[in-house]
Chain A
């Protein structure tokens, strides 16, 4: 079983749609949680951290459920520029970053 699992998609949505991505992790001792964005043929870049209390950054909302070992990312009012692959990332109890395989999003006009 992979340590971090994501629905690979692809998700194809129209502009203005709301889309949600899910992620589960297997190591209950994991410490920190993040969403990264990766554009085609580019390096991953941090989108936002994920806190137990949930956090919001503009159109993006991240949630963490430690009991279910589940992380989510909600994107509201999708823009064409949101098209990318979204990576779920967990820092485990060895302080190593564990990456999900990513969920691909395409926003269409």
Chain B
């Protein structure tokens, strides 16, 4: 049982490049989400999914796309990276949206720098 895994751990991009941040969980959780963490801002919700085939926008969705073709995977795509997207990205999963924090699991994070 690996929990929530994220790849890569670190990434440096140039402005305008695209990339996909991978997130996978092996706990059969229906709810998955992506957050970004910036200094002085706390974690902010980018996109979330309540099940395979269903995604929705969070607080800061602009510049990001997601899809959920399987229960296990929830990739985050940056179509044209901008320096404002330099951040630490966390993926999280739980059995359902609004589940107590004691059943919410976070991945180890991806540190992204956009030059």
Residues on A facing B (Cβ under 8 Å) = 2, 4, 8, 31-32, 34, 36, 41-46, 49, 87, 89, 91, 95-102
Residues on B facing A (Cβ under 8 Å) = 35, 40-45, 48, 58-59, 90, 97-98, 100-102, 104, 106-109, 111
Point out which of B42, B45, B48, B100 has the most chain A C-beta atoms below 10 A from its C-beta.
B42
Q: How far apart are the CA atoms of A98 and B98 in the complex, in Å?
A: 11
Min CB gap B59→A, angstroms: 8
Min CB gap A101→B, angstroms: 4
Question: How many A-B residue contacts, CB cutoff 8 Å?
Answer: 55
Q: Which residue of A31, A43, A91, A100 contacts B42 across the interface (Cβ within 8 Å)? A: A100
Contact at B101–A34, with CB atoms within 8 Å? yes
Q: Which residue of B43, B100, B109 contacts A99 across the interface (Cβ within 8 Å)? A: B43
Min CB gap B99→A, angstroms: 8
Nearest residue (CB) in B for A35 is B101
Contact at B108–A43, with CB atoms within 8 Å? yes
Given contacts A44-B106, A45-B106, is CB(A97)–CB(B42) below 8 Å? no
Given contacts A99-B42, A101-B41, is CB(A42)–CB(B109) below 8 Å? yes
